[in-house]
Structure 1
């Protein structure tokens, strides 16, 4: 992204936000749908796929390893897979762009195939540590050559046959869990992951849907996820629900802009992803679920959000795994609440696309919001619903969630809040600005 001119942006709300908006397909489910369909034998059909840069990096990687992945004129993606164990040697490096999910999950897939793959990424991704994935994958037999600090560029040699592993997650991470499970797909015997703190379970749900022999049990040590290797995955028809991480920006925007009244359609309501919804309701947000329904084994609902007076609270730390990507926009909601909000328990934010704790502390501080930085979160003094001062240009550090969160701040600010570069938004939400305008905002 840095090779192109920066694209400054700021949003203004000249009145209430109103209308109905659809958010992109869920990013976590989109990545997994492409990967698992690429390992099935036969044709899978995927509707509602998120067509952001991160997911397209996954598409390109699976094509490079032999899968036939194509988008039809009807917007439906059709995937002809190679079968578990059938991944081919990629002829060039796999460019992951800004996508940590693509990188970590694909490393899991490659770990139990007799191929060598090199992973490269943009400047932001190349700063992110990969040891939390390479350490367990080395135990199944994969080997790695990395840049200093265990970072990209990274070349890995898969092991076939790989060694089945029982792995206790040292930190709550759905990406690490999924990487180990995906290595287990082509590993003889049973691979087990034990997670003391539950994380998003899209891999488990979808792998079972594709026909993998996978079980989940509760134990004194936590959730035990077991997968039997050398699986045969069957093609599926997948409808991807709306991404709650994208819906989060409109939930907060409508909550803080006076008079707002919007509906966000078709939002994934998987209980491992609704932490922000829970936290906002605890703060007093008016968010109602309409027409809750089942779509492809996942709970989905439309969300009716109206402006409300928010109150500062101490956010329960046990919500962190179910809203880890939504902390930046939660900090935004806290900036407009009455009193002090303390949101901690989010150590993971330090190693995202940017150090999201430091980035949001600096961004909110530049806009006149009083906040205190902790190792695992922020304490924020809110404005009791009044506009914040604003009048700052925000360094987004090539991080799409920092860019969108601070664009939401600008909707209720006395002076413009300028995002230094809106280009990273395309990694997860290409239509973000257009949908802000649809709801009544003005983009400048």
Structure 2
């Protein structure tokens, strides 16, 4: 299907015509979480690190620019290729100005741990959305390690991280499952005396642990506890980044709900700490086939084939929530198209993402004629017929792309407001979606 006629260059809105089907072999951009970590560890390594498949989105480019501002020589990105001339754990230089991290919560939380161990002060700031994100969950355990970090009175950015502090290893039991908090403490642990251990209440994505090991840094795993010893060395390496399952999720849901759809998503990372989207969709009745499996850079990858299916509502198991936390906006669209009721609980983390994703998605679904009742830590969605209408993404890239997929079964056009931040995680989304069969364009 060809995109409907362009009428405006206003990139703040998407207009999506109803109907259509998704078909073909698709390759979504590189994994955002792995791209961030590849830049960070490559900069801290001794020697050269070569990266392929790097996500050239606004969030990951903010991390890359931060390390350039810290004196690291980085070539690229060009076609997903980046070459980093690592400076070692002690080789970063004080930036001349505060580091601007845009909309990237991953950047500010991970870098808070890294900068806690430096000899110089750093100020981390971001855009209006990032400036509302909670940071005490990472600053408080870092303070227990000896860090000195100042936030606003509300515990939000900007963060002023004071250098010259002596860090010491701790064992920290996280009250809430968070890969960002875990990774931040492990990065601080590189500079701490003794052993730093993080105990997870539930499994979270383990890209940091896998990549530390890939850079030659020993990581110990004891059940729910992950530990590192400070004072080691990272060695430059080759990193191949798979396609991002969080970006693939939109096309997985679109193919599952769109009549006649059949897509094959290529070279997608299927790290077991990230496959909640697959498990939940299968429980809802989606026809999903995993094929062409392999391993790149310590990360499992596969092609994922999804065909149109008849979905039914489910009670989403709470143990799957951390394994699909970024994919719930897309899953809410699947729930809206399913027969019966879908109930999510234990997902309070969704309220402090780029937006309050529970409320933003509930408001949008209601505007499209679906019964969606938000709760304190989840949502109850009654499947039904999606109507056309206008929804607001509130600057949240994942909400915007999720509502775009809803058009495949909607009765009328959907206008999605405030979509500029789609570029933070999925540059080229509009073009790929059009090529796959979605009648989507920029609008006003």
TM-score, normalised to structure 1, is 0.95
Q: What SS class does the counterpart of residue 144 from structure 1 fall into?
A: strand
**Aligned partners of 1:5 and 1:97: how far apart in 2?**
21
**Aligned partners of 1:433 and 1:177: how far apart in 2?**
33
Matched, 1:68 2:73: yes
Tell which deviates more after alignment, 189-198 or 266-275.
Answer: 189-198
1:165 aligned residue: 170
**Aligned partners of 1:174 and 1:8: how far apart in 2?**
31
1:50 aligned residue: 55
- Superposition CA RMSD, Å: 1.4
1:300 aligned residue: 301
Name which structure has the greater RCO, CA cutoff 8 Å, separation 6+.
Answer: 2
1:143 aligned residue: 148
Q: Deviations over 1:47-75 (max 9, x none)?
A: 00001000001001111112111216564
Q: What SS class does the counterpart of residue 59 from structure 2 fall into?
A: helix
1:217 aligned residue: 222
What's the CA shift for 1:123?
0.7
**Aligned partners of 1:172 and 1:344: how far apart in 2?**
14
TM-score, normalised to structure 2, is 0.95
What's the CA shift for 1:13?
5.3
Tell which deviates more after alignment, 395-404 or 48-57.
Answer: 395-404
Tell which deviates more after alignment, 201-210 or 158-167.
Answer: 158-167
> Gapped runs of 5+ residues in structure 2?
1-8
Matched, 1:389 2:387: yes
Matched, 1:403 2:400: yes
Q: What SS class does the counterpart of residue 441 from structure 1 fall into?
A: coil
Mapping for residues 79-228 of structure 1, pairs under 5 Å: 79-218=84-223, 223-228=224-229
**Aligned partners of 1:189 and 1:153: how far apart in 2?**
30
8 Å contact kept, 1:13–1:440: no
Query: How many residues were matched structurally?
Result: 433
What's the CA shift for 1:160?
4.1
**Aligned partners of 2:92 and 2:142: how far apart in 1?**
17
1:139/1:72 CA distance change after superposition, 3 Å? closer
1:396/1:75 CA distance change after superposition, 3 Å? closer
Q: Deviations over 1:219-253 (max 9, x none)?
A: xxxx1111011121000101100100000000000
**Aligned partners of 1:6 and 1:259: how far apart in 2?**
30
What's the CA shift for 1:5?
6.5
Q: What SS class does the counterpart of residue 176 from structure 2 fall into?
A: coil
What's the CA shift for 1:85?
2.3
**Aligned partners of 1:136 and 1:158: how far apart in 2?**
17
| 1:431 aligned to which of 412, 417, 428 | 428
8 Å contact kept, 1:141–1:159: no
What's the CA shift for 1:159?
4.0
2:351 aligned residue: 350
Matched, 1:12 2:17: yes
